[in-house]
Amino acid sequence: MNQGMSEPASSLPAPPRRRLARLATAVAVLAFGLLVAYGLWWWQAKAALDNLISELSSAGEPVTLASLVVGPVAEERNGYANIRAAIALLDPVDIELQSDKPIRVGVKLPLSESQRLQLRELTRDGPMILAALAPARGKPQCVNDRLQLQSPAVSIALPELAPLRRLANLARRMAVLEMDAGRHEQALQNLRLIEPLAQGAASHLFLIGALAATGARSMAADGFMDFAPHLSIGASPGQAPPELVRACIADLLEETVARDEFLRALRAERVMQLDTLQSLLEGKLDQNELVAPEGTGKSLRTPPLISRPLLRSNVRFAAAQTGELIELLNSPAARDWPGIQAQLQPLEQATRSTLSGWRYSMAKVLMPSL
């Protein structure tokens, strides 16, 4: 019995040292290979993004928030000073937001008595506010030169866009009341006040500003079209002078300003993409603060080991695709709608195909322009 107890607890032989050595060598080789692969990925992602930024900078394209800053513009040349004066006169409470029913901006002429009462209620301070705004129409620029641009760009607040929308609605409603009262000249003058508001919205640089400007101009264009069948042109009191009508037609045909604004907005979006990466790398911004692509139900957080090269490759893709869109909009093909549709379709398909996988989840957030 004592002899049996003295035997080893296990009859399995210990693994040979040679086998352990081979296993340790294999693990070391694998770890070294993964380390080399990671290093190459990190270097390639950084080099590709650095090269893109260098190319953009050499071409004179903005790559930092500082390069987007607009210097001070003299008040006598800047219509935005008048916009600020008009904003200051707005009622702090937006009546439209307090209404239980949606209030239409445009209505058919002639107005019913209930429509007149409603519009008068909405525009009770309108004459005073539009009088403060009116000088903006005659100034060469309408730029928000006090815009605060600081990193991270995705957190920049644009508090004046909502008041700009309210002023555009006010100008349109005042125009409708003037048209209904037979004061056609003043109706057109009120509609033309929407253009400096559109330029002021677009001066907020990013795509949301350009889209707000497009919405404002669409409001003015709809107003001109609604008034056209009822418009009385002539030199008599209340009639619209021929030169004013020609100026309105020129406003409708002008597209250069809007094109330049949209291209500037796309460039600002690209700067925001680059700034977002820098903010993430410097710890100014957390990945959890960015919204995951709609419908994925997933967080954008990635393990620290792979986050940097993955973020760089995402931002490089987003910036490069935004650059392709800018080049396309600068091309002769972008001068007409069918032409730009034909050019956009392959770019959109290629972008959607690339964004369909998990690898470019961050790019989906950074590419509202597409």
| pLDDT value for 101 | 47
Q: How far apart are CA 110 and CA 20, in angstroms?
A: 94
Please say if the pLDDT value at position 9 is more than 80: no
Strand, helix or coil at 240?
strand
Percent of the chain with pLDDT over 90: 50
The better pLDDT of the pair 91, 19 is held by: 91
Q: Which two tokens stand for residue 25?
A: 């060598």
Mean pLDDT, range 316-327, rounded to an integer = 91
What is d(CA 241, CA 226) in angstroms, rounded to the nearest whole number? 18
For 340-353, what is the mean pLDDT? 84
Distance, in Å, from the CA atom of 103 to the CA atom of 304, rounded to the nearest integer, reads 50
**Max avg pLDDT among 33-47, 119-133, 321-335:** 119-133
> Contacts from 347-352 at CB under 8 Å and sequence distance 24+?
347/321, 351/321
Radius of gyration of the chain (CA): 30
Q: Could you say which DSSP state residue 101 is in?
A: S
pLDDT at 42 over 90: no
Q: How confident is the model at residue 167 (pLDDT cuts 50, 70, 90)?
A: very high
The confidence score (pLDDT) of residue 106 equals 55
Q: Residue 104 and residue 112: Cα distance in Å, rounded? A: 14
CA distances from 217 to 135, 182, 201, 253, 338 (A): 19, 24, 11, 11, 22
What is the residue type of 63? V
The rounded distance, in Å, linking the Cα atoms of 137 and 146 is 20
Say what the pLDDT of residue 1 is.
47
Q: How confident is the model at residue 190 (pLDDT cuts 50, 70, 90)?
A: very high
Percentage helix, strand, coil for the chain under 3-state DSSP, each rounded to 5: 70, 0, 30
Instruction: Please say whether the beta carbons of 244 and 188 come within 8 A.
Output: yes
Q: Is 142 helix (H, G, I), strand (E, B) or coil?
A: coil
What integer pLDDT is reported at residue 96 of this predicted model?
62
The predicted model gives 348-367 an average pLDDT of: 80
Query: Which of 14-18, 33-37, 40-44, 187-191: highest mean pLDDT?
Result: 187-191
Give mean pLDDT, residues 58-86.
93
266 or 20: which carries more pLDDT confidence? 266
Minimal CA–CA distance to 154: which of 206, 213, 210?
A: 206
Q: Is the peptide bond before 13 cis (omega within 30 degrees of 0)?
A: no
**Residue bearing the bigger pLDDT, 35 or 201:** 201
| Percent of the chain clearing pLDDT 70 (strictly above) | 86
pLDDT at 129: 97
- pLDDT class of 295 with cuts at 50, 70, 90: very low
Residue 190 structure tokens: 């009120």
Average of per-residue pLDDT across 120-135: 94
Mean pLDDT of 286-302: 55
The reported pLDDT for the residue numbered 95 is 61
Q: Higher confidence at residue 186 or residue 350?
A: 186
Q: Sorting pLDDT into bands at 50, 70 and 90, what band is 12? A: low
* CB neighbour list of residue 236: distance below 8 Å, 6 or more residues apart: none
Confidence tier at 125 by pLDDT (50, 70, 90): very high
**Which of 143, 156, 124, 172 is CA-nearest to residue 84?**
143
Handedness of CA 251, 256, 259, 263 (dihedral sign): negative
21-35, 103-117, 249-263, 309-323: which range is least confident on average?
Answer: 103-117
**Pick from 149-153, 184-188, 363-367: least confident:** 363-367
State yes or no: pLDDT of 169 exceeds 50. Answer: yes
| Whole-number pLDDT of residue 297 | 45
Q: What is the mean pLDDT of residues 177-202?
A: 97
Residue 107: what pLDDT?
66
